[in-house]
Structure 1
Amino acid sequence: MNSVKALVSLGLLLCLSGCTYGGPRLPYDSWRLGLLAPDYMEVWIESADAVDVQDRVFRRAMSGVAAIQKPKNLKGDPRGWPEEPGDGAGKQVLGADLPRLLYVRWQSLAEPQTYEAYIVIPEETRKAMLVGEKAYCRADGQWITDYRNMLSIGLAPGGVARVWLMGQCLSALDVARVQGTVVKLGPDGGQSGGRYALPLEPQSQEYIERYGIPYDSW
């Protein structure tokens, strides 16, 4: 009898869950989360998590090395952010509805220091993610209906996180700038004995030793 009651309760729960949430109703299969860093300011992402509007959590939607450029002969410029930052190193967040909150914990290898940031996605940004726009794609010379279904996060020394919304062939929209906080336990939640994931590449090390870190530019 108890097992029957348990099955009935589970069935009701699943029904209620399905009726309340259902699947995501987006004009595309998924949206993308990408991460990048200024020239030479290398970053290791411990975890980038997402929470959608149905309060479902997608843990470690992205982790690893952030996209970065390290031009030869120290010709790069890490100061500030480009107008079109690029989509970053990332992944599609499969099965998610529109994003409500992003959480990023990362190692700023240039300093080194470990930070975390909570990024609230505004309602206006979510509305923009549902609007299709006519766009010309220079890569193949085609006009398409494009959607801004790509969120890119720039991670800079000092714990700065900058967020943009873009499409494959649409310009980037500024979403937010968030000041992260230092993770007191250090890298890997204190499990690595204070050791950071990777050493700086020689070019990055040389740039920082020669020019320093432009903290006030981000």
Structure 2
Amino acid sequence: MKSLCLLLGLLLSLSACARDLLNPPPPKLPYDRWSIGMLAPNYMEVWVESVDVLDQRGLAYYNVHGGITSIQNPPNNAGDPRGWPERPGSGKIMPITNVDLPEIVFVRWQSLVEPQTYHVRINIPAWVREEMLKPREVFCAWRGADDIKYRDAITLGLAPGGIAKAWLTGGCLEPIEIGRFVGKIHPEGPYNGTSNGKHRPLSPEAKAYVDSHDIPYDSW
């Protein structure tokens, strides 16, 4: 009987551990959520197939973001795709809820102007997570007043050649560069939810630009 009770206790303990792993408690952050944003240089259109996150607890979250990025395609080739903005915005933003701060971000995307499919691993240093937890007093021009803000967003810039740039951003605060990363060509090629193996088409504005200009690979 004693052995049976011990066995039952062990099974209940294992069951509780399994339940905790499947349903981890919410992370303890000073805000309800952090975010991932995505952008691309003018005309250098991107389709993000997946963004996956490994958080600092070691838990993996798949497909937390995807689709088109924030981009500007001025008509008549009036834009310049070279380089990155001096003060990048947050990009196309996606709130990330019930996920602890990121340790690694994995991105798979289609660079439509080449066309090519890339994947990249972006390691998030400890100093980034530390900064994400620090409240900062800043003057917000849109409010005309001081406010307390956090750098609570990771913004990803994706460019041809498999180049990825990451910044730490937050409302009214100056962005901080995390790093530049070089991805690899994905061996499986594009994935659109079908098996046709084709990249998505360019918009007319982007196609007009790449038909008349070289892709400025060295500028990112």
TM-score, normalised via structure 1 length: 0.91
Report the equivalent of 2:202. 200
Match of 2:90 among 87, 90, 94: 87
Give the count of matched residue pairs.
214
Match of 2:68 among 65, 68, 76: 65
Give the letter aligned to residue 213 of structure 2. Answer: Y
- RMSD over aligned Cα atoms: 2.1
Deviations 1:82-102 (A, max 9, x none): 111111113111011111000
Q: Does residue 179 of structure 1 match 2:185?
A: no
Gap regions ≥5 residues in structure 2: none
Mapped to 2, the partners of 1:67 and 1:142 lie a distance apart of 28
- Aligned-partner SS, 2:138: strand
Q: Which residue of 2 aligns with 1:105?
A: 108
- Which consecutive segments of 4 or more residues in structure 1 shift more than 4 A? 1-5, 12-15
The residue correspondences of 1:16-165 to structure 2 (distance < 5 A) are 22-165=25-168
| In structure 2, C-alpha distance between the alignment counterparts of 1:5 and 1:27, rounded to whole Å | 36
Distance 1:209 1:189 in 2: 24
| Paired amino acid for 1:212 | D
Identity of aligned residues (%): 42
Query: 1:7 Cα deviation (Å)?
Result: 3.8
Per-residue CA deviation, residues 61-108 of structure 1 (Å, 9 max, x unaligned), is: 101111110012211111000111111113111011111000000000
Task: Provide TM-score, normalisation by structure 2.
Answer: 0.90
Q: Distance in 1 between matches of 2:87 and 2:210?
A: 24
Q: CA deviation at 1:214?
A: 0.3
Q: Which amino acid aligns with 1:140?
A: R
